[in-house]
Structure 1
Amino acid sequence: MSKSTTESSFLQTLRYDLPASLVVFLIAVPLSLGIAMAAGAPLAAGLIAAAVGGIVVGLLGGSAVVVSGPTASLTVVVAGLVHTYGWRATCVITILAGAVQVLLGVFRVARAALAVSPAVVHGMLAGVGIIIALAQLHVVLGGSPQHSALANLTQLPGQILDMHGHKVMVGVLTVTVMLVWGRLPQHIRAIPAPLAALLVAAGTAWVFGWNVTRIDLTGAITAWAPPELPRGDWHDVVGGMLLIALLAGAESLLCCVAIDGQHTGRRADLDRELSGQGLANVASGLLGGLPVAGVIVRSTTNVRAGARSHWSAVLHGVWVLIFALCLGGTIQFIPMEALAALLVFIGIRTISLGHVRKVHGHNEIPVYVVTMGGVILVGLAEGVLAGLALAALMALRRLTRITVDKREEPNGRLHATVSGSLTFLGVPRLTQELRTIPAGTVVDLDLNIDFMDNAAFDALHNWRLDHERLGGTVTIDELHDEWYTLAAGGARMFPAKSPPKPSGRWWLPWTHRRPDSATTVECRLTQGAEEFHRRTAPLVRPILTELAAGQQPTHLFITCADSRIMPSLITSSGPGDLFTVRNIGNLVPRAGSLPGDDSVAAAVEYATRVLNVHTITVCGHSGCGAMAALLSGPATTADLPQLRRWLQHGDPSLSRLGGERPGDALELLCRQNVQQQLENLRTYPRVEEQVAAGRLKLVGLYFDIGAAQVDVVPPVMPVPPEPTQR
């Protein structure tokens, strides 16, 4: 690395990362202490985990801005392990969990964690938040938390009746500051709300001499004791180890993905991040700290504070370490009830209405509720497993859901469409719908499916045989791979689902679709609109929603009004790509020519002056009726005066052909007409100016209808002037 690059990196750290690290540090200290208290661990364990998470993950992790440390989501697990095995044995479990995370990162399985349904994650966090809030509410009221959420809830009324005044006042004051802090002026809100709440509560309790419980960290950092092996059933130990490894890893990776959407720096390397989290957990366990994970609150604060690199997280860990070693005595001024009130507030805030609305929008409220209820009533692992199981069942139901649409055609035929994946789970619905079709009906059955198993084939095939035996007819059209045809012929079925393909037969003309499906033009148009709403609109709606505010096409596309030409089809373009002008003969009248025509000129003017297109394309085609009329002479259009005047703009193309008329004169004229219109475009000053400046390109295309082939027509190169004789 060059000296200038090093200096630039150092200046960036001073300008952006140093201030951001101080902001995150001020948030990390109170939250780390509160999480340690809620987990039943030594308070110093929270500070150790915050320092290790910041320094180790900051240096070795895969994200530039994620901040790691103790997390509330693991509080319930850690509290259970501490209660069962003791604190020093819990440190060993943390070390083993870190080793598992390192192995998972080495084997590059980090992406698998993203398969967890967000409804399960949000439900787990909400359940943990409620458990923490219920437990710490007892501390705020002057009592002690119970062994379970139900016990905390049932004993809460008695605790309220026996509550202690000063302790309750400290808790209420802490929560009040947290609630109103976000509404204060911005220069005051520069102090993080958790730190402000603790300072106000501690200062008020000290001034008025309230009787509160004080925090004592005297000698907690230096009184280190080595971890010890857990005593008990190793099956439970392994279960706890895997639970910490997977939950902490999943939360860290989901945090990385969420934070990547909030900054413009380098994207996170998830496998490296998982390995970095594992090494941090090994170090935290050895030093007597809590398990470590990426924390969304601190990471979001880090980004909003302007962090640019991993040095913000590293420095935040350094500040926590310095505080624990040199200023730990100041913590004794913080009331324990204030920390508990802070945790009650944070626990309740985990129930995010935004998350609830999001999962409700995807019909995953049952997964959210089951996960949250399981975590509260049974346990963290059981609740998560129950949520995952329900999410898998709901996903299976969605993947195997089928729809059967039936409508009667004007000619008495019945048109039915079966959509989805035809498996044994959909057979009851399929047979129920098919049996409602009256006997003797002529049925056109579209199979818009991507899979069919044996049970579904048997049900469909048996219904078809029964219907035809009773005098009806069934015509089956498969819009994707021929699942039914292959199964009926005894051929081997495809091993997997069909790849996605455009649904329907939108590119076919009406006359080539279902015969006699419509008897009038009006029916064809209305049924086409219905088919668009049913099949195509859901696919293009997201794009059209984006384009609704305005257009910004890159091409002006001038082509013939011939019904056989579909610009989007032959150019594989979509909505918003082409600014299209169609007229008879794809003609571009020369600037100022007579008879005058403002339509094409207006389109050229708008495309070059307002839309600033990059390309103007003139597309001709084989068998053009306008060119055939030019070849046949004025008599052909004697009874069509408007058309005769319009075709005068094609006379220069006819002149290019010359007096000789070869057998392929029509095709030659169609191609030369494209070249002529490209020359006509350059008579417009704005077009010529942009072409000369290299900002606009003129392109000619020729579509051979019979061969379904598009060729590029090169423009005629101008002949350079002959050098003058001296």
Structure 2
Amino acid sequence: MSNAAVSSPNGAKLGFGAIFSRDLTASIVVFLVAMPLCMGIAVASGVPAERGLITGIIGGIVVGALAGSPLQVSGPAAGLAVIVFEIVAKHGLSTLGPILVLAGLVQLAAGALRMGQWFRAISPAVVHGMLAGIGVLIVAGQFHVLFGDKPRANGLENLLAIPGAITGLSVSTFGAAEAALLVGVVTIGSILLWEKIRPAKLKLVPGALLGVLAGTFVAMGFGLDVQKIAVPESIAGAIAIPGMADFAKLADPMIILTAVAVAFIASAETLLSAAAVDRMHDGPRTKYNKELGAQGVGNLLCGLVGALPMTGVIVRSSANVQAGAVTRASAILHGVWILAFVALLPFVLRQVPSAALAGVLVVTGWKLVSLDHVRHLFARYGLLPALIWAATFVMVVATDLLTGVLVGLALTVVELLPNLKRMRLKIAQQDVGEKEQEIRLEGAATFVQLPKITKALDAAPDGGVVRLDTRALTVLDHTTTEVLSEWVKSKERTGSKVELPNACVFGERLRAAGAH
């Protein structure tokens, strides 16, 4: 990096020293957030904790250097824990590597073919329904770990077994189940309490870290006989390179379909997270195809060393932005700190109880189950998007992640049926004055046309006036409305002014969705 001044995410000019100081501080914050999540998500996925740490290292050092979203942080994601658990249960841990290699190649090809914008066309109802379903499955699975037990084979079994786990507790004796529950409850309670009372000066101290520390100190202080996480003496000992017999399994069509599903879900979660990160700062916007390619490289490498799949993750990314990160150096450094910690202090990690990590994941999973999203969809767009959310949610919990997403996407197509004969969209873009541009949309603005729409929107210059004319639209679906609304807010954060037509139903819909 040169000594020239660089703009921070809030638009201020910073010199090299200030940039390095902010990135260094942010990287430490993200490292503290990432450590318990990397291990916890690995355990929830049914794989050794160190595999999640390796993914965090690759996500930081490699993907951080290549990312199209400089302030986004990549690593193991709770959203993929369910599908990884199913892969390991059905096909064995050794099959995960080849699946990730193929998934990474799919992502690389998608980035090279400039398909990044298509992932933005996925309905918010499907995405939030999927995340809510994943949240329930994570809570249900980790609930049993809180009782010193192992998760069952699928989500429904986990849910049905919860009453038995509760009634199996003993009031008169204090055994392994009661000890694990005490550690988990202390962890969860510490996280929730910290979120309530955290002083402003300590807002960057992550609750997950404090929760794990509290659970660990309780286990050590009372000498509780609880299961601890297993970490090898050397991080190199955690690397498991797939053999030719493992890659031969890719001849199975079901394995190929699973790899494509992993690539699709990981890409969607990454690019939606990147869009959310863009809303948090005024710095460089995400280059979606570049980000997709970077994720492909990351998952390819994770597959070659037997680690967990990765995505861009919103919890670590938001911590990065809030901690004041300016460049991609923060994400890269957080990977360096994970590597250094695992290489030099593995004995510290071996003191962490599994129930403490389960407590972190119970809180993480519960936060994914947000009813605010479905309320927003119903209030803004009516019954159909809310039904899409509900159907995706129920199918993810009752069947599996891929089936739930496919059902949600199929229902999204239903929204198009009344308009099949009028699906054409014309976009006219012209300069109407100095630093003034008009974008006119005419016809049907649906998720099918979103790549075309976003290409035109992204070409609008920053700093001037943009008139978004929607008066000639005949259709504006909820997915496109959300994208347009977020674009308006993003442009206004860069100093542009976006004008919407008055007395226009679609202009009013955009205002109702949050655009001005």
TM-score, normalising length: structure 2: 0.77
Out of 103, 107, 112, the position equivalent to 2:109 is: 103
Out of 144, 150, 160, the position equivalent to 1:154 is: 160
Out of 381, 390, 393, the position equivalent to 2:402 is: 381
Q: Is it true that 1:344 corresponds to 2:350 in the alignment?
A: no
Contact 2:71 2:325 in 1 (8 A): yes
SS in 1 for 2:22: helix
Out of 166, 187, 203, the position equivalent to 2:201 is: 187
Unaligned runs of 5+ in 1: 401-419, 423-448, 452-498, 504-534, 550-726
Contact 2:3 2:16 in 1 (8 A): no
The aligned counterpart of 1:171 is 184
The aligned counterpart of 1:135 is 141
SS in 2 for 1:130: helix
Mapped partners of 2:387, 2:511: distance in 1: 32
Out of 277, 300, 303, the position equivalent to 2:295 is: 277
Contact 1:221 1:324 in 2 (8 A): yes
Within-5 A mapping of 1:505-544 = 536=503, 538=505, 541=508
- Counterpart amino acid of residue 181 in structure 1: W
Out of 330, 355, 361, the position equivalent to 1:312 is: 330
Out of 206, 213, 223, the position equivalent to 1:209 is: 223
- Counterpart amino acid of residue 365 in structure 2: G
Cα deviation per residue 1:42-76 (whole Å; 9 max; x = unaligned)?
Answer: 21110000110111111111112000000011111
Contact 2:86 2:154 in 1 (8 A): no
Mapped partners of 2:473, 2:370: distance in 1: 38
Within-5 A mapping of 1:18-97 = 18-97=24-103
The aligned counterpart of 1:356 is 374
Distance 1:80 1:2, change over 3 A: closer
Mapped partners of 1:373, 1:542: distance in 2: 29
Cα deviation per residue 1:240-283 (whole Å; 9 max; x = unaligned)?
Answer: 11011111111111111111111011111111010011011111
Mapped partners of 2:219, 2:210: distance in 1: 14
Q: Is it true that 1:17 corresponds to 2:23 in the alignment?
A: yes
Distance 1:63 1:142, change over 3 A: same
Mapped partners of 1:261, 1:173: distance in 2: 34
SS in 2 for 1:166: helix
Q: Is it true that 1:245 corresponds to 2:263 in the alignment?
A: yes
Contact 2:2 2:16 in 1 (8 A): no
Mapped partners of 2:101, 2:15: distance in 1: 34
Mapped partners of 1:545, 1:218: distance in 2: 54
SS in 2 for 1:191: coil
Cα deviation per residue 1:301-347 (whole Å; 9 max; x = unaligned)?
Answer: 11111111100100011111111111121012211111112111111
Offset of residue 41 of structure 1: 1.3
Contact 2:126 2:408 in 1 (8 A): yes
Contact 1:85 1:231 in 2 (8 A): no
Mapped partners of 1:500, 1:263: distance in 2: 31
Mapped partners of 2:394, 2:471: distance in 1: 38
- Counterpart amino acid of residue 389 in structure 1: A
Out of 81, 103, 123, the position equivalent to 2:129 is: 123
Offset of residue 111 of structure 1: 0.3
Mapped partners of 2:236, 2:2: distance in 1: 41
SS in 2 for 1:68: strand
Offset of residue 167 of structure 1: 1.0
Within-5 A mapping of 1:702-721 = none
The aligned counterpart of 2:488 is none
The aligned counterpart of 2:467 is none
Higher fraction of helix: 2
RMSD: 2.7
Mapped partners of 2:293, 2:113: distance in 1: 10
SS in 2 for 1:294: strand
SS in 1 for 2:235: coil
Contact 2:23 2:329 in 1 (8 A): yes
The aligned counterpart of 2:388 is 367
Contact 2:76 2:310 in 1 (8 A): yes
TM-score, normalising length: structure 1: 0.55
Mapped partners of 1:92, 1:155: distance in 2: 33
Mapped partners of 2:345, 2:15: distance in 1: 30
Offset of residue 543 of structure 1: 9.5
Mapped partners of 2:408, 2:512: distance in 1: 34
Distance 1:128 1:502, change over 3 A: closer
Contact 1:137 1:340 in 2 (8 A): yes
Within-5 A mapping of 1:467-616 = 501=472, 536=503, 538=505, 541=508
Contact 2:3 2:15 in 1 (8 A): no
Distance 1:374 1:231, change over 3 A: farther
Structure with higher RCO (Cα < 8 A, 6+ apart): 2
Offset of residue 104 of structure 1: 0.8
Offset of residue 99 of structure 1: 1.1
Give runs of ≥4 in structure 1 deviating > 6 Å. 542-546
- Counterpart amino acid of residue 176 in structure 1: G
Contact 2:29 2:320 in 1 (8 A): yes
Distance 1:189 1:288, change over 3 A: same
Within-5 A mapping of 1:627-666 = none
Q: Tell which deviates more after alignment, 216-225 or 297-306.
A: 216-225
Distance 1:276 1:2, change over 3 A: closer
Contact 1:54 1:69 in 2 (8 A): yes
Offset of residue 230 of structure 1: 4.8
